[in-house]
Every structure is written in structure tokens, then in C-alpha cells.
């Protein structure tokens, strides 16, 4: 198999020579002329059944050539036959849960915490009409029921970077399909389908786009499961916009380079934070003791570019001092972002559940970008010194 660097550049571009173009084209059509009524009818019925292509796109809500190229590219990078793209990662998750649970009548979900806060909230809110059981990795087999339609996990997990052994998880799930959120790892560092996962989900807004200017979500899956998800997308009108598809597809070409460069910086920052006097704990897969199941190197090809750490004092004072890091949600951009999950990304998770899976008010999540490591460290260190001064004043007063 060709290198991930080569595949990232060429994936989804096979037809460009035949089209007579070099750069990815953008198709903004909302409707498409038909050669005759019969061909349009056939195409419409095929697309409604979830086909990845037909004789005509017919209408822009059903399918789009620019979106389809991005889907083929991501499917190739994840080693799966097909992928379906949506306007956001949450839209992709909703359609996948609906296809796996509501359409099949198996309305029970087993999920591993921590998960992205939006995912956690969606599963517990009752919006989707599913029942969720949260379980540790070792409890999954016992949590499976006759009506379980899906097992959901995220690894590395948001925001504690916990690692899940996917081989063990898939074995515990048995015949129940497993959905893995691969947003943090990306196809560069991990391919969950190679370990038995049925669905591989990405918030494409993050690393796949990589520049903080395109929102989208995508789920890769076997052909039959992808067709079921695509049928739902057609019915609900949740198709990814072609301009975003163009930007996200373009981002794939530099994905390996961006992930590898940011990962090197993240590893250095994690090591320095682990001995900083203002930091009580650092969560990063590359640190000693962070990989009890031996996932790194066997399943995960690198520790990634996201880390989190806990401070001895409330961290808002530190966040206010940062000048190079942007205090904002999201991750995976070329610039470094920082946020406090308990106040933002995981605020809608109940307090007790949030604390139980290690998300304390003092936890800070860092998405490391492409800046110079010394510049980033200088900014972090200066901000952390504020917490030390606060603590000294508190002790001496």
C-alpha cells in the first residue's frame, strides 16, 4: 500500500485528468438538467436508496460531485468502501445513530465516557429516542442487550486523551456494530476499521480541514451501512455544502504533514508541562503511564497533537494571560487553541458525570498548532506563572 502522504495528496482525484483540470473543481449547482424524464426518475430512485452515484445528481440536496470526491478520499484514507459527508460532525453522528438504531428498531446504545460533550449530551437528551448505557471498556460485553444497535467510543478521548483498545472493544461488542470517533487521531495516526469498527466518524471541521474555515462531518462505513446513512441524509437535507467539501478535500493533502509537525510540538510541551510547578497532572498518550493497554504503536501510530493538563488553581486566570494561544473551542487548526472543557465543550454534561470521567474545573485542553515550540512554551510558561503568584499570595496572606 502507498504511504499515507501519497494517498492524502491523490485520494479522490482520480477523475480530474478526464475532466481536464488539475485543481479540485467546485460544483455549486442546486439543480441539474436532465436528458429525459426516465433517466431523471431512475437517478432519483437510486439516490433515494442511498447509492453513492447515479446517472444525474438531479438536485443539489441529494448529492453533489464536489462532496462525493471528498467522500471517496476520506473513505480511501480510512480503508473503508464508502463515506457520507454532512454539514457538521453532529449531523453525521445523528444520521449514523438513526441508521443503526432507529431504522433497525434496536434503540439501545452502549457508550464509553469520556466523549465529546456534544455527543454525550445528544445521547442523554432523549432527542433521538434512544436509551444509552454508559460503560467502562471492561463492562461493554455485560451492557450489550438484545436491542443494542450501536457501541460508541472515542479514542483518544476528548478531553482526557484516554485510550481504548479497539480490538478488545470490538470483541466485547460481538455482533453489535462499533462507531469510533477518530477526530483526534485522524487517518494519519489510526484506522479503526482495521481493528473491526463498522463506522469511523470525523468532525471534519478539525484536522481534515485544518485551517478553521470549513465546517463539516463525515462517517466512513461499509457500502450497505453507508447507503442507509445516505438515504437519511437525502431525506433530512443535511448534505455538506460543496464549498466546505472543496476546502476539506484540499486540507487532506497536507493532513499528514500538519499532524506530524503538531505532534512533535505537543510531545515537547507535554513533557515540559509534566514538570511545571503550577501543573498537577498532564494527559497525553505519549507520556509514561498513559497507555496501560499497549495501544500506542499497535493501534495508534502516534500520540497526536492534543493534550490536556490540570492546574492546582482555577485556570481562568491563566487563560486570560495567554497571548499566542487562542482561547476558543474546536481543535486541529494550524494555530494553537486552548479551552476549559468544564466551562465549554463539556458544559452540557451533568456535573457528576463530568467529574466521574476526569473532567474537573481545573482541566485545560490544548490543541497544538504549527507555531514554533519555543514561542508556544514561552506563552504557556508566562501564563502559568500567574497561577504560581496567585497561590503564593493566598498562602502568605
- Output 314 or 47, whichever has higher pLDDT: 47
Tell me: the pLDDT tens digits for 154-182? 999 999 999 999 999 999 999 999 999 99
Rg of the Cα atoms in the chain: 22
pTM recorded for the entire structure: 0.96
Kindly list the distances between the CA atom of residue 97 and the CA atoms of 38, 92, 260, in Å, as whole numbers in the listed order. 34, 9, 32
CATH of 4-252, one of 1.10.287.470, 3.40.50.970, 3.40.640.10, 2.60.120.920: 3.40.640.10
Tell me: the pLDDT tens digits for 39-55? 999 999 999 999 999 99
Query: Of 151-160, 344-353, 376-385, 388-397, which gets the smallest average pLDDT?
Result: 388-397
Tell me: the pLDDT tens digits for 196-253? 999 999 999 999 999 999 999 999 999 999 999 999 999 999 999 999 999 999 999 9
Residue 131, phi-psi category: left (phi > 0), alpha (psi -120 to 50), beta (remainder): beta
Tell me: the pLDDT tens digits for 12-39? 999 999 999 999 999 999 999 998 989 9
Q: What is the spatial distance between Cα 340 and Cα 121, in angstroms, rounded to a whole number?
A: 17
Q: For the chain, what percent of residues have pLDDT higher than 70?
A: 98
Q: What is the mean pLDDT of residues 127-135?
A: 96
Residue 101 cell numbers, joined = 438504531
Tell me: the pLDDT tens digits for 240-297? 999 999 999 999 999 999 999 999 999 999 999 999 999 999 999 999 999 999 999 9
H-state helical runs in 15-88: 16-19, 37-48, 65-78
Q: Are 204 and 216 in contact (CB under 8 A)?
A: yes
Q: What is the DSSP letter of 138?
A: G
Domain with CATH 3.90.1150.10 in the chain: 255-396
The CATH class for the domain spanning 255-396 reads: alpha beta
**Long-range contacts of residues 390-395, Cβ cutoff 8 Å, at least 24 apart:** 390/313, 390/317, 391/278, 391/312, 391/313
Q: Is 299 exposed, middle or buried (0-12, 13-18, 19+ CB in 10 A)?
A: buried
Q: What is the spatial distance between Cα 238 and Cα 268, in angstroms, rounded to a whole number?
A: 40
Catalytic (active-site) positions: 61, 116, 181, 206
Please state whether beta strands 306-311 and 363-367 pair in parallel, antiparallel, or not at all (unpaired): antiparallel
Cell numbers 482495521 correspond to 194
- Output 313 or 221, whichever has higher pLDDT: 221
* Cross-strand partners of 322: none
pLDDT > 90? residue 391: no
Q: Which residues of 64-82 are buried (b: 16+ CB within 10 A; e: fewer)?
A: bbbbbbbbbbbbbbbebbb
Name the nearest CA neighbour of 218 among 234, 192, 199, 196: 199
Q: Are 122 and 130 in contact (CB under 8 A)?
A: no
* Residue 397: band (very low, low, confident or very high) from pLDDT cuts 50, 70, 90: very low
Q: What is the DSSP string of 337-387?
A: EEE-TTTTTTTTS-HHHHHHTT--TTEEEEE--SS-HHHHHHHHHHHHHHH
Domain with CATH 3.40.640.10 in the chain: 4-252
Amino acid at each position: 500500500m502507498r504511504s499515507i502522504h501519497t494517498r492524502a495528496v491523490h485520494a479522490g482525484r482520480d477523475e480530474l485528468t478526464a475532466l481536464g483540470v488539475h485543481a479540485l473543481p467546485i460544483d455549486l449547482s442546486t439543480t441539474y438538467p436532465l436528458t429525459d424524464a426516465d433517466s431523471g426518475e431512475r437517478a432519483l430512485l437510486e439516490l433515494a436508496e442511498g447509492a453513492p452515484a447515479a446517472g444525474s445528481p438531479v438536485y443539489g440536496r441529494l448529492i453533489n460531485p464536489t462532496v462525493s470526491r471528498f467522500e471517496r478520499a476520506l473513505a480511501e484514507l480510512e480503508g473503508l468502501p464508502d463515506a457520507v459527508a454532512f454539514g457538521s460532525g453532529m449531523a453525521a453522528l445523528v444520521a449514523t445513530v438513526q441508521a443503526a438504531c432507529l431504522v433497525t428498531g434496536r434503540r439501545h446504545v452502549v457508550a464509553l465516557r469520556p466523549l465529546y460533550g456534544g455527543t454525550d449530551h445528544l445521547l442523554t437528551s432523549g432527542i433521538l429516542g434512544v436509551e444509552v448505557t454508559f460503560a467502562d471498556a471492561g463492562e461493554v460485553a455485560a451492557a450489550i442487550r438484545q436491542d443494542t444497535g450501536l457501541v460508541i467510543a472515542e479514542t483518544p478521548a476528548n478531553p482526557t486523551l484516554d485510550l481504548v483498545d479497539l480490538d478488545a472493544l470490538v470483541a466485547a461488542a460481538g455482533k453489535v456494530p462499533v462507531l469510533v470517533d477518530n477526530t483526534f487521531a485522524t487517518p494519519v495516526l489510526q484506522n479503526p476499521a482495521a481493528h473491526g469498527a463498522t463506522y469511523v466518524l470525523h468532525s471534519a471541521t478539525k484536522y481534515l480541514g485544518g485551517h478553521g474555515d470549513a465546517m463539516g462531518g463525515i462517517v466512513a462505513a461499509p457500502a450497505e451501512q453507508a447507503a442507509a446513512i445516505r438515504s437519511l441524509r437525502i431525506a433530512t437535507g443535511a448534505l455538506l455544502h460543496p464549498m466546505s467539501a472543496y476546502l476539506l478535500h484540499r486540507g487532506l493533502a497536507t493532513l499528514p504533514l500538519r499532524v506530524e509537525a503538531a505532534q512533535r510540538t505537543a510531545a515537547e510541551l507535554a513533557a515540559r508541562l509534566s514538570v511545571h510547578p503550577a501543573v498537577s497532572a498532564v494527559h497525553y498518550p505519549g507520556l509514561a503511564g498513559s497507555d496501560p493497554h499497549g495501544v500506542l504503536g499497535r493501534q495508534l501510530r502516534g500520540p497526536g497533537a492534543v493534550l490536556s493538563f490540570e492546574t492546582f488553581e482555577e485556570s481562568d486566570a491563566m487563560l486570560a494571560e495567554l497571548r499566542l494561544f487562542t482561547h476558543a473551542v474546536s481543535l486541529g487548526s494550524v494555530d494553537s487553541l486552548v479551552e476549559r472543557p468544564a466551562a465549554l465543550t463539556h458544559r452540557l454534561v451533568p456535573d457528576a458525570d463530568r467529574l466521574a470521567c476526569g473532567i474537573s474545573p481545573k482541566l485545560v485542553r490544548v490543541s497544538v498548532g504549527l507555531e514554533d515550540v519555543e514561542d508556544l512554551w514561552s506563552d504557556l510558561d508566562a501564563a502559568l506563572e500567574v497561577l504560581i503568584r496567585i497561590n503564593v499570595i493566598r498562602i502568605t496572606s
